[in-house]
Structure 1
Amino acid sequence: MIVMSIAGVDPSGGAGVFADLKTFQAIGVYGCGIVTALTAQNPYKFFSTMPVSPEYIEEQIDSVMDSYEVEFIKTGMLYSPEIIELVSKKVKEYRLKAVVDPVMVATSGGDLTKEDIADAFNKYLLPQSILTTPNVSEAEKLSGIDINTKEDAIKACEKIRCNSIITGGHLDGINTININGNVTTIKQKLIETENLHGTGCNLSSAIVAHLAKGNDLKTSIVKSLDYVYEGIKNGNYGTLIAKI
């Protein structure tokens, strides 16, 4: 079972491609990593971003697909509308099943994108994806709806342009899931911790790993929520995660 992450590099290892590969391995699938940008950051401070050209991202994807049979992928930091459009083209070309983590801002506070890219996600990538995993802030940008309550999250979830889970770290632990128009919620107890870095990366990559192992989408989401929660509770991620 071979899966792929298309995301940025976090040199501290807590987020991005490095974190995704760790999660893939932990769940028992082989992961390939396509680099969209380099960042200088750690769990507490963001310094800078250096994007990779769309042409070189395309060559990376093609080189992996030349040798491996990949069905499920996740995307993380895509940086610009041009990169989003390129990834969307490759998803279509190779008939990939994409889980999109619509990364826009680093947990440590830095703007990871060239500009507001919500429109590009909605135009190019989400309509071709099987799931997106925004936090509340990202879901607001994708849906155009302010989210302050469970009811707001349900409305936003229904408006986002593919199946979605709006994660509940900033909504009293309520995760709002929409699969094929069927909206459900799963509430998890929030854990007080300073380990905020990389949660969204771990969730989306865990979902991809569970899908690759033959689970359906809802089961993969539930198992991945449990995986992330247990990692937070037991401190298995080192300096990683708390709220998504």
Structure 2
Amino acid sequence: MIVMSIAGVDPSGGAGIFADLKTFQAIGVYGTGIVTALTSQNPYEFFSTQPVSPEYIEEQIDSVMDAYEVEFIKTGMLYSPEIIKLVAEKVKEYDLKAVVDPVMVATSGGNLTKEDIADAFNKYLLPKSILTTPNVSEAEKLSGININNKEEAIKATELIDCNCFITGGHLDGINVINVNNEITVKKQDLIETENLHGSGCNLSSAITAYLAKENSLMDSCFKAMDYVYNGIKNGNYGTLIAKI
């Protein structure tokens, strides 16, 4: 089972492609990684981004697809509308099933992308994807509405043109999942911790890995929630050896 991450590089290893590859390995699938940007950051501070050209991103994707049979991918930081459009084209070309983490801002607060990124996600990539996993802030940008409670989160999932999993870290632990227009609300206890760097990356990569292991989309979401919850609780993303 071979999966792909299309994302940025976090040199601290807690987020981005390095985190995705560790999660893929922990869950028991082989991960490939397409680099969209280099960043200088750590769990506490973001410094800068150096994007990779769309042409070189395309060459990376084609080189992997030339050698491996990949069905499920996840995307993280895509940086620009041009890169989002390219990835959408590749999803269509290779008939990939994409889980989109619509990364816009680092956990440490740095702006990871250009402006108009939400419009590009909505126009190009989300309609071709099987799931998107925004946090509340990202879901607000994608849906165009403010989200302050469960009802507004549900409404946002209905406005986003893709199956949608709004994570509950900024909504009192309330996770809202809309798959095929069926709403599931699952509340998790919030954990008092600073170990949140890369939690969104780990969630989307875990969903991708569980999908590759022939779980349904909903089951993959639930299993990934447990994986990330235990990672936050124990501070050991990527070292959890999944027994599922």
1:88 and 2:88 matched = yes
Unaligned 5+ segments in structure 1 are 239-244
Structure 1 residue aligned with 2:131: 131
Structure 2 residue aligned with 1:11: 11
1:71 and 2:57 matched = no
Structure 1 residue aligned with 2:58: 58
Deviation at 1:232, TM superposition (A): 1.1
**How far apart are the structure 2 equivalents of 1:227 and 1:194?**
17
**How far apart are the structure 2 equivalents of 1:237 and 1:87?**
27
SS at match of 1:236: coil
**How far apart are the structure 2 equivalents of 1:235 and 1:120?**
34
**How far apart are the structure 1 equivalents of 2:85 and 2:173?**
33
Structure 2-normalised TM-score? 0.97
Question: Percent of counterpart pairs with the same letter?
Answer: 83
SS at match of 2:89: helix
Unaligned 5+ segments in structure 2 are 239-244
**How far apart are the structure 1 equivalents of 2:195 and 2:141?**
25
Supply the AA of the counterpart residue of 1:98. A
Structure 2 residue aligned with 1:161: 161
**How far apart are the structure 2 equivalents of 1:96 and 1:237?**
26
Deviation at 1:237, TM superposition (A): 3.1
SS at match of 1:66: helix
The answer (yes or no) to whether the contact 2:9–2:16 under 8 Å persists in 1 is yes
**How far apart are the structure 2 equivalents of 1:156 and 1:190?**
22
Structure 2 residue aligned with 1:144: 144
Deviation at 1:17, TM superposition (A): 0.3
**How far apart are the structure 1 equivalents of 2:150 and 2:10?**
32
Supply the AA of the counterpart residue of 2:154. I
- Kindly report structure 1 stretches of 4+ aligned residues shifted beyond 2 Å: none
**How far apart are the structure 2 equivalents of 1:153 and 1:166?**
7
Supply the AA of the counterpart residue of 1:160. I
Structure 2 residue aligned with 1:2: 2
Structure 2 residue aligned with 1:191: 191
Structure 2 residue aligned with 1:27: 27
**How far apart are the structure 1 equivalents of 2:6 and 2:18?**
11
Structure 2 residue aligned with 1:106: 106
Q: Deviations over 1:111-145 (max 9, x none)?
A: 00021300000000000000000000000000011
Q: Deviations over 1:160-202 (max 9, x none)?
A: 1100100000001000000000011010000000112000000
Supply the AA of the counterpart residue of 2:198. G
Structure 1 residue aligned with 2:221: 221
Structure 2 residue aligned with 1:41: 41
Structure 1-normalised TM-score? 0.97
Structure 2 residue aligned with 1:241: none
Deviation at 1:235, TM superposition (A): 1.9
The answer (yes or no) to whether the contact 2:23–2:237 under 8 Å persists in 1 is no
